[in-house]
Structures are given as structure tokens and as C-alpha cells.
Structure 1
Amino acid sequence: MNGLSAYGPWAVITGASSGIGRAFAERCAADGLNVVLAARSTDRLQELGRELANAHRIEHRVFAVDLSHEDGATNLVAACEDLNVGLLISNAGNGRPGQYLDQDVPDLHRRLTLNTTTHLELAHAFGHRLVRRGHGAIVLVSALGAIHGLPNMAHESAAKAYVLNLGEALHHELRPAGVHVTVMLPGNVDTPIIDKFGVDRATLPIRPITAPTAVRQTIRALRSGRATVVPDRRLRALTRLTPRRISIRMNSRMLAKAAANLAARTATPEQA
């Protein structure tokens, strides 16, 4: 078997209601895997689950959870205790462009839990289960911004760097036990997060690729035994050729504009 069904019979996907997570869920179901769909939106998850079950004759389970809460990952693991999970897609994450010191510490903690601790706990719990069964796979979704600090998104670049380094190390630690681990580093994928962050699509240096395309490239990397993958060969080349200091400067300007766009969007009429 060359598809994801080789890892089966169940896949757990976080952040499954939209974007990259939804694309992973659709691909898993198309490959014959039953899916646990986890995100905050019950309605969207239920609708997606019905669509996948009808289209691919698979089973599904919906688990509405806010993974920015300290017990979110623990509750998700418990909800899958009776399932033979062979694949974990740890994708949930969030961010907010802006100056680090302008952000509230409680919100920074919530996003740290979502962007870092959740990956830690899910990889640990399901890693144990996959090692015991003797095979399986984990995909950790980090971000291209993890390769260096991002001014105007310092918190997220630091958190995603943890995910990158964790996954790259686990790729080697778990391989002897038959568990494949790949870290996805999306940076140019057309998902709702682009608009949510306030990024002006016209200023992007490269036209974004679709989420299904990014997922297809990530699965190819997983199946071929690669530790990391940056979807989109154009972006891989740009990242390799752009000096670090210039990349930091370019991203800083783009994210500063995004933060300004967000501020303008949320301003009250009196403030505008």
C-alpha cells in the first residue's frame, strides 16, 4: 500500500475544520482511513464528517475541543483511547501579527499552549501508542517562520521553532520503532489564515499554492522518509537563496503591514 492507509486504520487530525487540516482529512478519507476530526467548531466538523463518510464510506468521529486550554490535548487523547490510531496530524495553531510587548501575557500563554504544548502532548501520547503497535506516522505542522525569528510575530516563530526541532529529532528517535515523523513547514499556502492575519495577498512574493497541493507534497515527503518539507518548490528555492538577514527584514515589513491592517479592521468608528 502506497497511500496513507498503510498507517491505518484511524487518523487523528487537529485543526480539521478548515485549511490544511481539512485538506489532510479529505486526503486521509480518500485513502480509506477513518478519521477523528478535532477543532473548536462542532457544526463544521460534523458537516465535514458526513461529507467524507458519504464520499468514501469511512467512519468518522467528531471531537470539539479548544486546544489552547491546558486540558485540551489530554481530553483528545482520552477520546481516542478505544481506536487503533496509526496516523497523527498535529496541525492546530494560531497567531497574531504585531509587536510582542503590545500583546497580553494571558493571550500569549494560550497561544503557546496551542502552538507548542499541544504538539508536545499529542506527539508524546500517540508516539507511545504507535511505538507499541510497531508502525505508524506523525506529521507535525510547524511554519516556515520557524527557521528564524520573525519581528512582528516573535511569539509564533519561537513556538513553531519548538515544533520544528521536536519533530526533526523524533524523526530519528522513532524511526527504529517503525514510526515515521515529518515536519511540515508551510509558508505559502492559500488558507483562511492569510486573511485572518491581515496579510495583503497582493504583496506576497509568490502566488500561494492550494492546501491540497501542500498536503500532497507533505505526504510524499512522509512516505519517502524525509524529516522536513517546505511545500512549494518555488518557496524552497527562495528560502535557500535569500540571505537570513534579508528574509527577516522582508518578513518583518510584511507582518508590520498585516498588523496595521488588522488594527484598522478592528478599530471602532471613533478610533478610525
Structure 2
Amino acid sequence: MNVVLVARSTERLTSLGADLRRDHGVAYRVVTADLSSPDGARTVLAACADLDVGLLVSNAGGGHPGLFLDQELKDLHRRLTLNTTTHMELSYGFGRRFVARGGGGVLLVSALGAVHGLPNMAHESAARAYVLNLGEALHYELAPAKVNVMVMLPGNVDTPIIETFGLDRADLPIRPRPAAAAVRETLAAFGRHRPMHIPGRLMRMMTRFVPRSRLVRLNGRMLGRAAANLRRRESALA
């Protein structure tokens, strides 16, 4: 597959595209866009207007652990656009194109926190719940048009977000799953036309069998410690 790479960092995307071309012989296009801005999704759609896109992987996201009322309203609006509105607009724009072309795929990346409220990350868990419900519904709505839709719910995947959120790896309930393994597993589930997938058998078991109220408390305490770590980090930089 040729790829369109989208993010704010043109330089990093260009480097990644060159690696993909060298290793896999694919063409790439870089689209520089801030997906937390109201125009972000429209920028992507316009930049792909001349391409026969067949698969959308909508992986935009971000967050900031902390109490809901302690955060600035403008930041909450910005992250709501990033975590919710952008996924909706991309799914709508590319979904209509896929139906018109007679097939395609949409892979929405939500988060495991979407299945219940997360204390100290209430805003993000609520936003991600929209993505989960949107994707699950579209899985059935668009199936007759041969458009495959699935939602990925990563819960404990080894990416830089662990440090960005201020999480202590020692606090994580299980060892983070390598990102490449999580992606391979997710794509296999996508190929089986699953509506939703949680990478990692242990994370799936925890989600299914641990009582919901206990998961809310455990994750809330862990994110509370992450928020404290971020405050200390920000104070040290001030």
C-alpha cells in the first residue's frame, strides 16, 4: 500500500516516508495538518482529493491527566476536536468516498478507557467513547456497501504516550505490549471483519472479568499519580 502520512511534524513524516519507501517500495505523501484545529480534517480530505484512497487509519489523539475542573476550557475544546470531531469528519468524508467506490476500510483508534469513565482523565474517556460507539455502529451500517469498519482499543501499548502522560511504568498493571505486535494483531482482527479489538489477551481478559467499578478506581488512582508527576515536571521547568 502507498501511504498518506498526516501530523504536524513535516520533518518527521518525511523521514518516516523515506524509510517506508526504502524498506517496502511504496510511495508516500506528507500532509502537514494540526488535527486539533477545526480545519484539520478538511485539510486532509482536500490533500487526498486526487487519490484513490481505500483505507483510513484514524489515529489522532492526545490527553492530559488531571482533574476535569482544573483544566482550561480552551484546552478541553482543542482536545475534543482532536479526540472526537476529527475522527467523525474523516469517517464521514472518506466513508462517502468508499461507498461510492464500492468498498474500503476504516480503522478508528479509540482507547480502552472508552469503555468506562476514567477519573483524572474524564474528558478523554468521554471523547474516546464517542469514537468507540461511532465505529461499532458504522461497522454494521457500512457493511452492505462493502466498507469494513473496526475500532481499536489500545490499553497498555508501549508508545511514547506513557512518558507524555507522566505515567510510571512501575505502576502499569502489566508490561506494555510492543507497538508492532499490537498493530499486527489489530490488522489481523480487521481482516476478520471484527467490529472492535483490544490488543493483548491479558487486557481483553481484564476488561471482561474485572468488575467495572474496580477498573474505574484502579485506573483513576494510576492517572492521579500520573497527574502529580506532570505537575512536578512542569514545576521543575518553570
Q: Which residue of 2 aligns with 1:9?
A: none
The residue that corresponds to 2:76 in the other structure is 108
Residue aligning to 2:203: 235
Tell me what 1:155 maps to: 123
**Aligned-pair distance for 1:268?**
3.9
Letter in 1 for 2:154: P
Cα-to-partner distance string for 1:102-136 (whole Å, 9 max, x where unaligned):
00000000000000000000000000000111111
> Percent same amino acid at aligned positions?
61
1:193-212 alignment to 2 at 5 Å?
193-212=161-180
The structure 2 residue matched to 1:70, chosen from 38, 41, 55, is 38
Does residue 60 (structure 1) correspond to residue 28 (structure 2)? The answer is yes
- Which residue of the other structure, out of 85, 88, 92, is the alignment partner of 1:120? 88
Partner of 2:53: 85
- Structure 2: which 5+ runs fail to align? none
Amino acid in the other structure paired with 1:106: K
User: How far is the alpha carbon of 1:247 from its aligned partner?
Assistant: 0.4
**For each residue in 1:124-181, what CA deviation from the matched residue of structure 2 results, as whole angstroms up to 9, or x when unmatched?**
0000000111111000000000001000000000000000000000000000000000
Q: Hey, what does 1:186 align to over in structure 2? A: 154
- Distance (whole Å) between structure 2 residues aligned to residue 158 and residue 235 of structure 1: 20
Cα-Cα RMSD: 0.9
User: What is the rounded CA distance, in whole Å, between the counterparts of 1:236 and 1:177 in structure 2?
Assistant: 30
Q: Distance in 2 between matches of 1:247 and 1:56?
A: 41
* Cα separation, 2, equivalents of 1:95 and 1:109: 12
| CA distance in 2 between partners of 1:86 and 1:48 (Å) | 21
**1:218-257 CA deviation, whole Å, 9 max, x = no partner?**
1111110100000000110111111011000000000000
Match of 1:177 among 140, 145, 150: 145
Q: SS in structure 1 opposite 2:37? A: coil
Deviations 1:13-52 (A, max 9, x none): xxxxxxxxxxxxxxxxxxxx00000011111100000111
Deviating above 6 A after TM superposition, structure 1's stretches of 4 or more consecutive aligned residues are: none
Identify which of 13, 21, 29 aligns with 1:45: 13
Name the CA distance, whole Å, in 2 between partners of 1:72 and 1:190.
Answer: 27
In structure 1, runs of 5+ residues without a counterpart are 1-32
Indicate the residue corresponding to 1:249 in structure 2.
217
Q: Determine the structure 2 residue equivalent to 1:220.
A: 188
Q: 2 CA distance for matches of 1:55 and 1:226?
A: 29
Distance in 2 between residues matched to 1:238 and 1:120, nearest whole Å = 29
TM-score normalised by the chain length of structure 2: 0.99
Amino acid at match of 1:128: R
SS in 2 for 1:217: helix
Which TM-score applies when normalising by structure 1?
0.86
